Amino acid sequence: MFLILSDFVKSQNEKLITGVAIDSETHEPVANVVVELNFNGKHVVTDSSGRFKFDRRTNRKQIRFIHLGYKETNTSIDTIKLSAGEFLVFFQLQKKDNILEEVVIAAKNAITKPESNIIDYEFMENKIVLLNYKVPPYRSEIVLMNEQLDTLTKTKLLVEPRFLKKDCLGNVHVFTDDSSYQLICHNAQILVSSPYSKAIYEEKMGKCIESTNDYVYFLNKKGAVLITNGGFHDFLSKSNVLSYSYYAKREKRNGILFDVMNERHSKERDDDEKMEKLHPELGKKNSVVFREMILLDEIYAPLFVWRDTVFILDFINGTISTFNNNALISKVSVNFHKTKTWKRSMLIDHVEGKIYSKHIEDEKLVLKQIDCKNGTVVKKSVLPIMVTTKLKLMNGNAYYLLRNNTNFNYVLNRMPLN
């Protein structure tokens, strides 16, 4: 962070100090920086524009700058030569490698203590929602933080939570064993709705996966059939078709966007049905059961939305299809997934609009940024870990849960994608 100061001289030894805090990487103003003068406990805090000022004149002494997302910096005002009305680059603050559990907030705000157990998290309007469950004393709370890792508020929960889930409209819900609750951010407070059943959530939101200002997108899995094996072990097969549909809010109409079909799977299943009709006495062959249960995976073809653009990554046919206003504007071939290191996982940074594939290489987690215009890898980021829980991306950073080695609680970590 750069700090830019203006120094208005009223006398030789007294100054009225004002300034603006600016992030050294993004050059955006940084709010909530604590600026303390002379280490006397008296301080001001930068506003939403990164500005601060001391409304009283003071002798030139020491000044300290404190922010949860940056290393604390101390300096002497005497080392800076300022003339009346002049703006100068004052100093830089280096960003921390943040572990959210280690963040300690002022007493008037929430505190994330070392014994906290962050069992889940989600993003809400570029903020971070933490689900903290302490065992013992079996207390749970919702903590809301901003990207600068300032705790904005916290709300106690009177139930035992299991996980958080974000729906296609951007709402975050907390789930228990038998109920769910919507979290509502209002005036820097987290409100918790009345409970509703998980069945109602699945009925209303289960198939909804993404949305834009004008459209809501749904996923339907088709083609699953009941495989009978002489009554010994009947089971439902994998789907062989993924169908993406949409609802146009303004026109109030439904439409089909794209279907992904595993044609090889469909052909093999058709051949099996023909054989069964010709020789019903054979029943289902062991090879059919083995294929349906073990060999075949569910179709993986994720849909991502960034602003008004929709991307469908079809790994059955090796393509990326790009849509705008539900019209296909491009389709390119990909092959980055044709390697043993790929973990059948894709992620999107909804702030930057970048899409990454997840790999394990040399016992490290590797995220490869994919250019959806030509299907190639344009950047590779290596995280010094191999196993994570709930890896998500926001604004050029990777967030993930890991157990610490002290008490085996989960902590939320954040690392920049280089």
DSSP annotation string for 345-369: EEEEETTTTEEEEEEEETTEEEEEE
The C-alpha atoms of residue 313 and residue 347 are separated, in whole angstroms, by 11
pLDDT at site 188: 72
Distance (Å, whole) CA 343 – CA 401: 18
Does residue 3 register a pLDDT over 60?
A: no
- Name every residue whose Cβ is closer than 8 Å to that of residue 46 and which is 6 or more positions away in sequence: 20, 21, 29, 30, 31, 32, 33, 35, 52
In this predicted structure, what is the pLDDT of residue 103? 31
pLDDT of residue 160: 86
pTM more than 0.75 = no
The residue written with tokens 């800076």 in the block is: 80
The pLDDT of 81-89, averaged and rounded, is: 43
Does residue 385 register a pLDDT over 70? yes
User: Which string of b and e fits 79-99 if b means at least 16 CB within 10 Å?
Assistant: eeebeeeeeeebbebeebebb
With H, G, I as helix, E, B as strand and everything else as coil, classify residue 240. Answer: coil
pLDDT for residue 21 is more than 80:
no
pLDDT beyond 80 at 173: yes
Fold exhibited by the domain 2-92: Immunoglobulin-like (2.60.40)
Q: How confident is the model at residue 13 (pLDDT cuts 50, 70, 90)?
A: very low
Q: Where are the domains of the chain?
A: 2-92, 97-206, 213-333, 339-418
pLDDT in tens, 313-332: 999 889 999 999 999 999 99
Predicted pLDDT of residue 204 = 84
Residue type, 230: G
Does residue 161 have a cis bond before it (omega within 30 degrees)? no
CA 114 to chain centre: 23
Q: What is the pLDDT of residue 71?
A: 67
